[in-house]
């Protein structure tokens, strides 16, 4: 009998086996959860690269649903949640691991972000959580848990994180408001703020390797977090172990976020 036996949920944001969303999904599966996955719609139906990426991971664990979803399209979101309702009836949890900024806007300074780039970044990285919560609540009549992924760049200035830092700040603020609004229905909303993990999306962040070195030097544990640790924390937030936790941004970063200056033994480079 696993911790998540009989629980049903939908996972947004798996790109490959290095995705944080996949690390969480693996832990949920190991504890008995029934999982559904979304993936980016493929531009060429004859060559469904995005679908294949997710199926390669999700089929072997017996995923009950694998469906495309463009979170910028309300009709597509409606369709994805209708598919989830048809497959599961009700949902117990949703994992939201979606963020995006146009590469030129992400790599450049915040003052130079284009108007359209800012709109796109906020739409995909922040509004999508609100849109997901709106639809998920109808499938959670007995309550549930919704989690999203954040990073310290939403609380502190992290050079190179740029416009995505603004998005994460807005995302974390939305978590509090959503927790307040959905709480009376028994739905919890939390953010998981992980240390820097090498994923497909992090490859676009400038000086990412420098971030990793900083964590090794400065974090109280003197190391960066492992992706499996992030997965276990996601399991905790989704499971009944955390029924009293909502509106929280939980850091999984070896304690890095508490430091205001390098420790005496810090070595860089």
- Positions marked catalytic: 151, 161
CB 97 within 8 A of CB 14: yes
How many H helices and E strands in the chain?
9, 7
Instruction: Tell me the residue length of the chain.
Output: 269
Measured CA to CA, the distance from residue 37 to residue 35 in angstroms comes to: 7
C-alpha closest to that of 125 among 147, 97, 161, 156: 97
- Which two three-digit tokens encode residue 5? 């036996």
Strands 249-252 and 187-194: parallel
DSSP state of 127: I
The tokens 């709480």 sit on which residue? Answer: 183
């Amino acid at each position: 009998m696993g911790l998540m036996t009989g629980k049903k949920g939908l996972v947004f944001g798996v790109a490959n086996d290095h995705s944080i969303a996949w690390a969480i999904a693996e832990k949920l599966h190991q504890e008995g959860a029934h999982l559904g996955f979304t993936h980016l719609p493929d531009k060429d139906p004859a060559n469904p690269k995005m679908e294949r990426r997710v199926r390669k991971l999700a089929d072997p664990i017996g995923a009950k649903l694998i469906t495309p979803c463009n979170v910028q399209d309300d009709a597509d979101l409606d369709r994805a949640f209708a598919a989830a309702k048809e497959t599961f009836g009700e949902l117990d949890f949703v994992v939201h691991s979606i963020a995006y900024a146009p590469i030129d806007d992400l790599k450049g300074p915040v003052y130079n972000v284009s108007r359209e780039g800012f709109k796109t970044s906020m739409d995909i990285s922040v509004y999508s959580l609100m849109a997901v919560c709106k639809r998920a609540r109808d499938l959670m009549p007995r309550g549930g848990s919704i989690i999203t992924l954040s990073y310290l760049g939403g609380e502190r200035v992290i050079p190179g994180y740029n416009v995505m830092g603004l998005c994460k700040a807005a995302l974390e603020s939305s978590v509090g408001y959503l927790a307040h609004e959905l709480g009376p229905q028994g739905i919890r909303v939390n953010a998981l703020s992980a240390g820097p993990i090498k994923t497909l999306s992090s490859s676009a962040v400038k000086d990412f390797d420098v971030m990793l070195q900083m964590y090794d030097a400065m974090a109280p544990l003197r190391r960066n977090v492992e992706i499996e640790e992030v997965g276990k924390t996601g399991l905790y937030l989704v499971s009944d172990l955390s029924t009293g936790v909502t509106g929280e941004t939980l850091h999984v970063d070896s304690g890095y976020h508490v430091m205001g200056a390098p420790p005496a033994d810090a070595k860089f480079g």
